[in-house]
Amino acid sequence: MKNLIYMATKLSLVLALLSLTACGGGGGGTTTPPVTQQQAVVSMALTGGADTIGSLQFDLVLPAGFSLATDTQGNLDSGVLTVAISGSSVDSLYLPEDNQNFGQLTLGMAKASGFSPGLFATLIHDMVSGESLPLSTDFSVNSLLVSDLNGVPLTGYSLALTLQQRTVTP
């Protein structure tokens, strides 16, 4: 009988010990924060006049290290260039940075019924870890050509760039 009481006590202690160590109870674990991506958003606006614009074309020279995402054929990925003028036709050519040249985006836009000066497009650049947001003065604009609905060049216009940094979850 003593053996039976001894074994029952021992079994009770083992079961109690197991129930304490096996307590899963949640909590105590760590949660993985969502992966985020820093992006530079470059807003492009035409300033300096009040004419109805039929088309514009320019070369935007990008700062060192400021690349744009492309597909395997070198075309800008979807979402990299967003046009704010509905119904416009847009053509772009991106030349990535190399050992001798900064990256460059050539952009042409036209709309048969015309558009007003102001915000016309945004560019998205995926930033790398430790990269700082460039200043608008780190970009340069070459060969800005603004024309009216008849293709006649208009003067007094400039391209204004505004940069913001945002965090997205891909």
Q: What is the mean pLDDT of the chain?
A: 88
pLDDT in tens, 26-83: 556 677 778 889 999 999 999 999 999 999 999 999 999 999 999 999 899 999 999 9
**Residues near 92 by Cβ (< 8 Å), separated by ≥ 6?**
76, 81, 105, 106, 107, 108
Name the pTM for this structure: 0.78
Report the topology of domain 37-168.
Immunoglobulin-like (2.60.40)
All structural domains of the chain with their residue ranges: 37-168
